């Protein structure tokens, strides 16, 4: 795969044939098993990464805890300056990193660039935030007393990220954690370890250039057992985990068992409601991008379209026509819309979903297929499919990480569509397409969408970093990136100061000696 400039990108990012998968920034070490990363684009080996042993992990933890002591006393705006420099390096390496994301994960090059742009955006956001880590002041009930709250750095933050956003989700966490004065230990998905190596190299450059202690940015690699090193470690006060609901439930229990904090961003089963007042053209663009973008492997991907029966056929025909235009192939070729799934296991899950929807009485209107032949040798390319289904089907209630879109029909009022939308266990993203103000506001009201994200006349995916990102129910309840998501990376302290010569007690209690 030299034609798309992958070799050059790997060189720019300091990726080698065999990479040490354990890093404290300046020191890279490892001697564990080797993960081989094969590209879903062409099935070629991209590189190998040595995994982290428990002994290595202890070295990482020592470096992280000692780095934390120095980092937390550096003024937050100075930490912001380091994050600014990190954002600058990302700008310089945007094309190379975007290309690697596309090659290792399989999303289109445009989406790979978009993912790096999210990293840059969160850095800019964090730089500004580094001067705004403010608490409230409140009035004391006692005379001559002052009360306020302040936010202090928390400690070592463990980040577990998924293959589908192999670089951006790490940056959402690190950029905020760093300005908050925390240090990070990152375990990327074992399906995209090379992206982890590339990011760690970029971060290490910045920390080295600024003579900062090793251990502010740490990397560990391996499967869930390596993840357990951090989730079960009392020295890690916060675990931020992105991935499946199944994984999140395990992580939540491990972290809760030691009373740690967890920030969970798990599965979604996102729907777009299409009302009789929808703009059909906008609906088609939003729905198609939402369903087939990243080959349906975003946690925000559109999985269900809930369409009013009066416009059902019109929408169905428009979407079916749009699917005919889709070009599936090498995601580094900008003429293609849809790249491969991450691996052949994902292909099996896609095939199972299509079998199940038929079994349950669904009607496939855009046939799926696993593609083979020239350009499809990796065995990971599939055709985006559409099925007419019913909301109660088990497969419709389930999140399948693949480009399978279910069309559901509703009748009567928008409330009926909202009921269907809320009928699933997950609660990440949701959208309504309508030009009717009443419908839009009902969808956004307290009895409307139960998701963490609710959009009007926008699809379910592609959220901006400035908002808090995350969802309810089985999505895990966490919020990452924008708004006040930074607060979870800090510990809050309430301070009361008495500047009198008396010691009055609160609640009017008398205690005379």
**Touching ligand UN1, residues 107-146 (CB under 6 A):** 118
Question: What HEC string does 90-150 produce?
Answer: HHHCHHHHHHHHHHHHCCCHHHHHHHHHHHHHHHHHHHHHCCCCCCCEEECCCCCEEEEEE
Q: Binding to ligand UN1 by residue 164, rule CB under 6 A?
A: yes
216-255 as b/e: b if 16+ CB within 10 A: bbbbbbbeeebbbbbbebeebbbbbbbbbbebbebbbebb
Q: Single out the residue of 109, 165, 289, 401 in contact with ligand UN1 (rule: CB under 6 A).
A: 165
**Partners of 218 in beta bridges:** 185
Shortest gap between Cβ of 248 and ligand UN1 (angstroms)? 12
Shortest gap between Cβ of 464 and ligand UN1 (angstroms)? 7
Contact between 216 and 184 under an 8 Å Cβ cutoff? The reply is yes
Q: Binding to ligand UN1 by residue 189, rule CB under 6 A?
A: no
Q: Binding to ligand UN1 by residue 30, rule CB under 6 A?
A: no
User: CB under 8 Å to 327, separation ≥6 — which residues?
Assistant: 335, 336, 337, 338
Taking the least distance from each CB to ligand UN1, the nearer of 298 and 316 is 298
Taking the least distance from each CB to ligand UN1, the nearer of 108 and 461 is 461
Taking the least distance from each CB to ligand UN1, the nearer of 200 and 297 is 297
Q: Binding to ligand UN1 by residue 463, rule CB under 6 A?
A: yes
**Touching ligand UN1, residues 235-274 (CB under 6 A):** 242
Question: What HEC string does 402-420 produce?
Answer: CCEEEEEEECCCHHHHHHH
Single out the catalytic residue among 265, 439, 474, 480: 265
User: CB under 8 Å to 237, separation ≥6 — which residues?
Assistant: 154, 155, 156, 157, 260, 261, 491
Look at the block and give the residue holding tokens 């899950």: 349
196: nearest Cα among 48, 296, 82: 48
Taking the least distance from each CB to ligand UN1, the nearer of 149 and 464 is 464
Contact between 269 and 397 under an 8 Å Cβ cutoff? The reply is yes
Q: Binding to ligand UN1 by residue 299, rule CB under 6 A?
A: yes
Q: Single out the residue of 462, 472, 487, 491 in contact with ligand UN1 (rule: CB under 6 A).
A: 462
Taking the least distance from each CB to ligand UN1, the nearer of 114 and 375 is 114
Shortest gap between Cβ of 342 and ligand UN1 (angstroms)? 12
Q: Binding to ligand UN1 by residue 300, rule CB under 6 A?
A: yes
Phi and psi, residue 284, nearest 5°: -65, -45
**Touching ligand UN1, residues 223-242 (CB under 6 A):** 242
Please tell me the number of Cα atoms within 13 Å of 42 on its side-chain side. Answer: 16
Shortest gap between Cβ of 298 and ligand UN1 (angstroms)? 4
The answer to whether 36 is a known catalytic residue is no
Query: Closest CB to ligand UN1 belongs to which residue?
Result: 463
| Residue 452, token pair as written in the block | 């963490």
Q: Single out the residue of 187, 298, 442, 479 in contact with ligand UN1 (rule: CB under 6 A).
A: 298
Among the listed ranges 215-223, 315-323, 374-382, 458-466, the one in contact with ligand UN1 (CB under 6 A) is 458-466
Among the listed ranges 162-170, 207-215, 271-279, 349-357, the one in contact with ligand UN1 (CB under 6 A) is 162-170
Where does this chain bind ligand UN1 (CB under 6 A)? 118, 164-165, 169, 242, 298-300, 461-463
Residues serving a catalytic function are 265
């Amino acid at each position: 795969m030299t034609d798309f400039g992958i070799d050059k990108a790997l060189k720019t990012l300091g990726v080698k044939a065999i990479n040490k998968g354990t890093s404290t920034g300046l020191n890279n070490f490892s001697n564990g098993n080797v993960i081989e990363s094969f590209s879903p684009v062409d099935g070629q080996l991209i590189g190998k990464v040595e995994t982290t042993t428990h002994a290595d992990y202890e070295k990482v933890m020592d470096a992280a805890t000692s780095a934390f002591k120095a980092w937390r006393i550096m003024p937050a705006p100075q930490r912001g300056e380091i994050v600014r420099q990190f954002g600058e390096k990302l700008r310089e390496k945007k094309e190379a990193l975007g290309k690697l994301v596309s090659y290792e994960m399989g999303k289109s090059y445009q989406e790979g660039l978009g993912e790096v742009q999210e990293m840059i955006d969160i850095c800019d956001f964090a730089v500004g935030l580094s001067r705004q880590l403010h608490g409230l002041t409140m009035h004391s009930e006692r005379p001559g007393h002052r009360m306020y709250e302040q936010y202090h750095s928390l400690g070592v933050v463990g980040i577990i990220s998924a293959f589908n956003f192999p670089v951006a989700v790490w940056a959402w966490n690190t950029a905020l954690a760093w300005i908050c004065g925390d240090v990070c230990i990152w375990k990327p998905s074992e399906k995209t370890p090379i992206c982890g190596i590339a990011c760690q190299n970029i971060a290490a450059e910045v920390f080295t250039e600024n003579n900062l202690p090793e251990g502010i940015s740490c990397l560990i690699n391996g499967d869930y057992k390596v993840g357990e090193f951090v989730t079960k470690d009392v020295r890690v006060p916060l675990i931020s985990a992105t991935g499946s609901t199944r994984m999140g439930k395990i992580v939540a229990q491990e972290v809760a068992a030691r009373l740690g904090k967890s920030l969970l961003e798990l599965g979604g089963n996102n729907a777009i409601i299409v009302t009789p007042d929808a703009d059909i053209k906008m609906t088609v663009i939003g729905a198609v991008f939402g369903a087939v973008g990243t080959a349906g492997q975003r946690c925000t991907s559109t999985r269900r379209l809930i369409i009013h029966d009066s416009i059902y056929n019109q929408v169905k025909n428009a979407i079916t026509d749009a699917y005919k235009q889709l070009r599936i192939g090498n995601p580094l070729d900008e003429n293609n819309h849809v790249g491969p799934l991450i691996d052949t296991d994902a292909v099996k899950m896609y095939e199972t979903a299509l079998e199940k929807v038929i079994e349950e009485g669904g009607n496939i209107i855009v046939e799926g297929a696993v593609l083979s032949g020239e350009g499809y040798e990796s065995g990971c390319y599939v055709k985006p499919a559409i099925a007419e289904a019913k909301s109660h089907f088990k497969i419709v209630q389930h999140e399948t990480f693949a480009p399978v879109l279910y069309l559901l029909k509703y009748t009567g009022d928008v409330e009926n569509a909202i009921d269907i939308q809320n009928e699933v266990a997950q609660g990440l993203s949701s959208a309504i397409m309508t030009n009717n103000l009443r419908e839009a506001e009902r969808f956004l009201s307290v009895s409307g969408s139960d998701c963490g994200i609710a959009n009007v006349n926008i699809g379910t995916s592609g959220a901006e970093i400035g908002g808090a990102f995350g969802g309810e129910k089985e999505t895990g309840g966490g919020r990452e990136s924008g708004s006040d998501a930074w607060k979870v990376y800090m510990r809050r302290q309430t301070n009361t100061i008495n500047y009198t010569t008396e010691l009055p007690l609160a609640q009017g209690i008398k205690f005379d000696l």
